Amino acid sequence: DAGVIQSPRHEVTEMGQEVTLRCKPISGHDYLFWYRQTMMRGLELLIYFNNNVPIDDSGMPEDRFSAKMPNASFSTLKIQPSEPRDSAVYFCASRGVSWEETQYFGPGTRLLVL
Amino acid sequence: AQSVSQHNHHVILSEAASLELGCNYSYGGTVNLFWYVQYPGQHLQLLLKYFSGDPLVKGIKGFEAEFIKSKFSFNLRKPSVQWSDTAEYFCAVSDYNQGGKLIFGQGTELSVKP
């Protein structure tokens, strides 16, 4: 299996632009998680899905952030409009059906908003 | 709310020194415990995990961790570190009642001097 795939790996954009991050989970995994990593706040869970349905989005910082999972093999995290404080590494992770299973992380998208 | 505390923010060791990284969590229910490692510029990889059974868990690359329920601790250890162990280490807890989502500690940066 190729593991969790994320694109792009790096994104540089200007403040006010829309940013879309993409994730393909491991095939057969039922859960998908979006995390954000910053120096100040460490690793934070933004939102997670179970069977394509958002379960907990309490970590989404503002209405500027939105996430979708239209099917079992694809999810997006969108920031519109982007701001410099959104600069971070965004990780996607996926996991099987049981809560005891390991979460596998993708390589991350390093976002810089100028 | 659940939280995970890693006491050491930055640890500097010489090669062959022994390592112990502290991790405490605040939750009294059933949890699973994890240690992830993030090598420079890379994504998070699982080092080891505890679900049940033997509280002494052995992971990859010679790492081990001991779950002490009475102390709410899950400290990571390695008898003799190598330069290649230079990385950031994250302790995490997942809670059955929250869909198994991971709560991460702030991370400990380990620098091993050759």
Q: Looking at the complex, report in whole angstroms how far the Cα of residue A98 sits from the nearest Cα belonging to chain B.
A: 8
Report pLDDT for B1. Answer: 67
Residue of A nearest to B3 (CA): A44
Encode pLDDT of A56-69 as tens digits: 999 998 899 999 99
Bridge partner residues of A45 (DSSP): A35
**Is B14's pLDDT higher than 70?**
yes
Q: Do A100 and B106 touch (CB under 8 A)?
A: no
The pLDDT of residue A2 is 78
What is the mean pLDDT of the segment spanning A35-48?
92
Q: What is the pLDDT of residue B43?
A: 86
Mark A3-30 as b/e (b = at least 16 C-beta within 10 Å). ebebeeeebebeeeeebebbbbbbeebb
With bands split at pLDDT 50, 70 and 90, how would you rate the model's confidence at A41? Answer: confident
Q: Which of B6, B33, B43 to mutate to test the interface with A (most CBs of A within 10 A)?
A: B43
Contact B44 A105 (CB under 8 A): yes
- Residue A1: predicted pLDDT: 62
CB pairs under 8 A between A and B: 49
Nearest to B92 by CA among B29, B48, B39, B42: B48
What integer pLDDT is reported at residue B35 of this predicted model? 97
Mean pLDDT value across residues A97-114: 91
Q: Tell me the C-alpha distance between A26 and A96, whole Å.
A: 9
Token readout for A62 is: 């503002």
B41 vs B88, more confident: B88
